[in-house]
Structure 1
């Protein structure tokens, strides 16, 4: 099914032959076996427990390791809050029997940007060969040579929107060498205001299949969630895309929704949208303390 939102101009790098069709995107998402459910961010607090422990709860269909917090100027850095990177390989493999495992780029720091097209291509290659299904001699793979994560999440909070569309197209183009498999799946986590200032161009490429709309850390989003949700749902009305509602698991975060209010107030509105796929929880540490995600699994 053709997308209902604007597409980038034909001159965008690698658009066309290097991209799969929109029908292929929908098929890739829906055939993964992980449509819908609960997504969680892991890696923001050492006391959240291991990645394997998170997956063993049976609650999450996608776990997002966060964050690759420095990139764009020839330097790359992974910040997972003191977790031992060398132990993650077995945990990732363990998780992949029940969930998809993504790596999120960006975060709340300010030491990342993509100042040029080339910096976007360089980052795409770094992600592909360091963490994903690409393998190249001499490239260090911190999770292990035989460990391949499933996708990349765009969590861009600062800087310019430039060249994230180039990055998305380049990452998606890596899938062209695989049949019936999409080893470079993509998601984005924009703020609720549509269109997102920093991720709007990347999402408009049409290759980002999962969108985690953040209704937290923003008083406007907390107050006007329905108005903004309706915009997202109208722009992405079908299952070609999956819209997740991103909420905090802790009352300490602006935008927290009590479970009763979520069930009785928000859920009837959300479920009217065919593209509504589930919830994204910030974050595993808070969810471990509050058990927030436990009852909402049944609502997805």
Structure 2
């Protein structure tokens, strides 16, 4: 007698199950770091900001974003960290990873990057994976050291076309399939405050970017319309499956600076109503070192 057959679930049901598993995996990635409190900080934009290890030793940061890989998309890659020597960062990265996650941000304020084709996105993903992350391939130079693996990639796209960053995000996330109980390719994005972000909207819509640092600085519009834009973000991402970080500047010289008293009394109570609000992201380590802005903020996380 032939073994009994079972009808194949409809394709729509399979898609629902796949979506549930994807979200569950993403939530695990977001919450598995074990680092509580603290804020995100961008490091690498000023030689006088101090070392990466010194930043982590403040105890205020649970994610440190090395910034930026500022050239990519046409077969060339360049890391600009303001005169810091990449070859000396390996020990600092490992030191930081005992208390924080370490990401690398791609893009920045230059205009020497783009992803003109799907293949260029795949090539960039492979470059990031094998050069900086958990992938290892013979003959690939690893500037931070052969045994140093950063935890994730941040998308900080300021110029060019939005095309193919969704391809890049999906390709990077796919590397996690080869690992059990951990996600060595975690992803974040740092869009401008206006929802949806013109350049990162498609990448964020993939659903594989688990942390979104919404920039409420560098734009005078955001300073006066932050509440309106925050409500848009939280309406689309109402739960902790996707975590929203409010990105602020630590420098009074940058548009959108919020004084600590105003932040504490006027802004924070609004933010805390949203389940998806995680904490803050600070631009940047140099300014924060001068002002100690995050030393007050970290008490509210």
TM-score, normalising length from structure 2?
Answer: 0.93
CA distance in structure 2 between the partners assigned to 1:23 and 1:150 by the alignment: 19
**Structure 2 residue aligned with 1:13:** none
Which deviations, in whole Å up to 9, do the C-alpha atoms of 1:98-121 show, x marking residues without a partner? Answer: 000000000000000000000000
CA distance in structure 2 between the partners assigned to 1:35 and 1:128 by the alignment: 27
Which deviations, in whole Å up to 9, do the C-alpha atoms of 1:207-230 show, x marking residues without a partner? Answer: 000000000111111110000000
**Structure 2 residue aligned with 1:109:** 110
Q: Give how far 1:34 is off.
A: 2.9
Alignment gaps of 5+ in structure 1: 1-9, 11-15
**Structure 2 residue aligned with 1:42:** 43
Which deviations, in whole Å up to 9, do the C-alpha atoms of 1:40-60 show, x marking residues without a partner? Answer: 000000000000000000000
CA distance in structure 2 between the partners assigned to 1:129 and 1:57 by the alignment: 30
Alignment gaps of 5+ in structure 2: 1-11
Superposed, which structure 2 residues align to 1:3-42 within 5 Å? 21-34=22-35, 37-42=38-43
Bigger share in helix: 2
- The answer to whether residue 250 in structure 2 is matched with residue 254 in structure 1 is no
Q: Give how far 1:37 is off.
A: 3.1
CA distance in structure 2 between the partners assigned to 1:299 and 1:119 by the alignment: 42
Note if contact 2:132-2:148 (Cα within 8 Å) is conserved in structure 1. Answer: yes
**Structure 1 residue aligned with 2:276:** 275
**Structure 2 residue aligned with 1:128:** 129
**Structure 2 residue aligned with 1:6:** none
Instruction: Name the larger-Rg structure.
Output: 2
TM-score, normalising length from structure 1?
Answer: 0.93
Aligned residues: 285
SS at match of 1:208: coil
How large is the RMSD of aligned CA atoms in angstroms?
A: 1.4
Note if contact 2:37-2:298 (Cα within 8 Å) is conserved in structure 1. Answer: no
Note if contact 2:38-2:59 (Cα within 8 Å) is conserved in structure 1. Answer: no
SS at match of 1:68: strand
